[in-house]
Amino acid sequence: MSLELRRVSASGSPAPGVRTVPDVTKLVDTSTCIGCKACEVACQEWNDLPPETTVQTGTYQTLPNTTAHFWNLIKFNEHDDQSGALRWLMRKDQCMHCTEPGCLIACPAPGAIVQYANGIVDFQQDQCIGCGYCITGCPFDVPKFNPQTRRVYKCTLCIDRVSVGLQPACVKACPTSCLQFGTKDAMLEVANRRVDQLKASGFAQAAVYDPPGVGGTGVVTVLAFGDQPELYGLPRNPTVPAAVTFWKGPLKWIGNLGMLGGLAIAAIHYVRFGRKADPDVDHSPTPTAQRPSRHKSTSDENL
């Protein structure tokens, strides 16, 4: 029952899921990626996405960035390491499927972003209103806006395949097993074993990238230069932006209480003091030929 919901965007009620299923995770071992881009093709094929025109960036990289039609991009980074060797660092840029998804927290449209019980974060474009708050909430610059549909798109981790017991299309296509898929526990075990191998091979800084600032991710990456995730274009310590956390947390409550308080004060004022005297209605007991220049306040009448 992987399609049960753990979180629903802009929902005042608890998510309906009751069953506990293991988190699923995609493992990306950058040290065995050969840059063949089979995963890019598999993603486009399986998801039947419209083709994007490639952009020559001076490397083998297909496009400068992922787009609304291109959810999985191998980024080619060159790194001169201390030994003088040129390292070719390839990294799979896609939705990281955060355990604490900034996009979902920022989203104002009920049900437009969901997190399934297995941890996969998915956009429901039919509920999306195209505000772009998810773009602000994401610490990885993943959600991409389609100006034609005015909605936002990203990797689904092939939820349609995973929910029927298949691997994501990219994992299925990977020829080197640099991509693997399974439960989070199993993938972390594989990742840690690989890090040990890398350390034994001279990459002392090798590490698993599973950033705790977003509660861990559903895509974990083995980095040979694990002390420098920036080399791969990954943020060192990604978190849901503090502005978004404050906005959707304390500020919302301060604002709601303030607005309700304002209405309450107006209501209490009306009951206590009420309407001001109307100068156009004569309140003086003995009308005079000359109108009084200024009316005495008649607030006492209202008490």
Partner 1 sequence: MEASAPRIVRYTFRERVVHLAAALSYVYLLLTGLAFWTPAMYWLAVVLGGGYLSRVLHPWVGLVFSGAVAIMYAIWRRDMRTTDADRAWRKAVLHYIRNEDAKVPPASRFNFGQKQLFWIMVGGGLALLLSGLVLWFVAFMPWELRALRYAAVLVHAVAALVTIAGFIVHLYMGLLVVPGGLSAILHGTVSERWARHHHPLWLADRPQSGVVSGFSRTDDDVRSQL
Dihedral, CA of residue 176, residue 182, residue 184 and residue 188, to nearest 10: -30
Pick the piece of the chain touching partner 1 (CB under 8 A) from 8-16, 20-28, 33-41, 85-93: 8-16
Interface pick for partner 1 out of 176, 205, 274, 283 (rule CB under 8 A): 274
Q: How far is CA 13 from CA 7, 32, 71, 137, 255, in A?
A: 10, 44, 31, 21, 20
Q: How far is CA 170 from CA 89, 154, 177, in A?
A: 19, 14, 10
- Measured at the alpha carbon of residue 112, what is the angle toward residues 109 and 117, in degrees to the nearest 5? 130
Per DSSP, the three-state class of 156 is coil
Closest to partner 1 by CB, 48 vs 280, is 280
User: In the complex, what is the shortest distance from the CB of residue 216 to partner 1, in angstroms, rounded to a whole number?
Assistant: 22
User: In terms of Cα–Cα distance, which of 123, 53, 89, 22 is closest to 231?
Assistant: 89
Pick the piece of the chain touching partner 1 (CB under 8 A) from 72-80, 177-185, 218-226, 247-255: 247-255
Pick the piece of the chain touching partner 1 (CB under 8 A) from 78-86, 90-98, 166-174, 262-270: 262-270
Query: Is residue 34 involved in binding partner 1 (CB under 8 A)?
Result: no
Which x/- pattern over 120-149 shows residues binding partner 1 (rule: CB under 8 A)?
Answer: -------xxxxxxx-xx----x--xx-x--
User: In the complex, what is the shortest distance from the CB of residue 38 to partner 1, in angstroms, rounded to a whole number?
Assistant: 27
Query: Is residue 263 involved in binding partner 1 (CB under 8 A)?
Result: yes
Which x/- pattern over 143-182 shows residues binding partner 1 (rule: CB under 8 A)?
Answer: -xx-x--x-x------------------------------
Please give the residues from 85 up to 124 whose contact with partner 1 meets the rule CB under 8 A.
106, 108-110
- Measured at the alpha carbon of residue 219, what is the angle toward residues 246 and 13, in degrees to the nearest 5? 45
Q: Give the Cα separation of 41 and 62 in Å (integer).
A: 11
